[in-house]
Amino acid sequence: MLELANVTLRYGQQTVLRDLSMTLRSGESVGLLGPSGCGKSSLLRIVCGLQEPNNGSVRNRFSRTVMLFQEPRLLPWRSVQDNLTLPLIAAGIPFTQAETRATHWLQCVKLDGSVAKAWPRELSGGMAQRVSLARALAMQPDLLLLDEPFSALDPTLRQDMAELCRQRISDTGASMLCVSHHPQELASMVDHCLEVRSMQLHHVSDFSTSTPCITPSC
């Protein structure tokens, strides 16, 4: 479970988030909408511990939180294969198992074996984003944070990758928090959608028939 209570975030004199509260339970998939600069990405960074709020509390009880940033953030001095296997090995996965898992997830994001030997500089923007997605999913997160993860993809691949994430969450019972500027994209991925507006969260819509568990501060 993830609990944010009365979170406030300021950059200098500018307040980005004010007294924001929400609860995300296991198995929930939630989308975040809102204009650029409203604090969506900052909220994800707070959740994964990369940024401290000025006030309020954050309790993240998920055991493995993985964030997929807007930019791929691949290690330029390592091959695609190494970019996937190194985090797995660092997490204690044996080398052979890490190699097998990396190959599997590259196939899942529709990249063939030749890409594994490529360097990040040889990839298109869309390919790099898919490598980054494969790396995130290979870590088997129980909380997946996505920040505009498909911006460089064409519509067909965008839909395929959204479905991949949705299926992974459904299969494992993990949770997902996804930032996007595309409501239609979120509709295919998440159960509930929230909008960051006036520095707080406001409920937009439910995409599932289940009773919402997400609790925004409105």
Indicate if 131 and 147 belong to the same structural domain: no
Indicate if 117 and 153 belong to the same structural domain: no
pLDDT band at 99 (very low <50, low <70, confident <90, very high): very high
Phi-psi region of 148 (alpha: psi -120 to 50; beta: other; left: phi over 0): left
Indicate if 24 and 40 belong to the same structural domain: yes
Indicate if 83 and 59 belong to the same structural domain: no
Indicate if 200 and 188 belong to the same structural domain: yes
211 pLDDT more than 50: no
Quote the domain boundaries for residue 155: 1-64+142-218
Domain end: 116, 140, 164, which one? 140
**Mean pLDDT score of the chain:** 88
Give residue-wise pLDDT tens across range 21-63.
Answer: 999 999 999 999 888 888 899 999 999 999 999 999 999 999 9
Indicate if 146 and 43 belong to the same structural domain: yes
Domain end: 91, 124, 140, which one? 140
Can you tell me the distance from the alpha carbon of 171 to that of 39, in angstroms, rounded to the nearest whole number?
Answer: 30
Indicate if 20 and 117 belong to the same structural domain: no
Domain count, the chain: 2
150 pLDDT more than 80: yes
DSSP letter at 54 equals: S
Cβ(66)–Cβ(133) below 8 Å = no
Give residue-wise pLDDT tens across range 171-208.
Answer: 999 999 999 887 777 887 888 888 887 677 777 765 54
Indicate if 92 and 29 belong to the same structural domain: no
Indicate if 50 and 154 belong to the same structural domain: yes
Domain end: 140, 158, 177, which one? 140
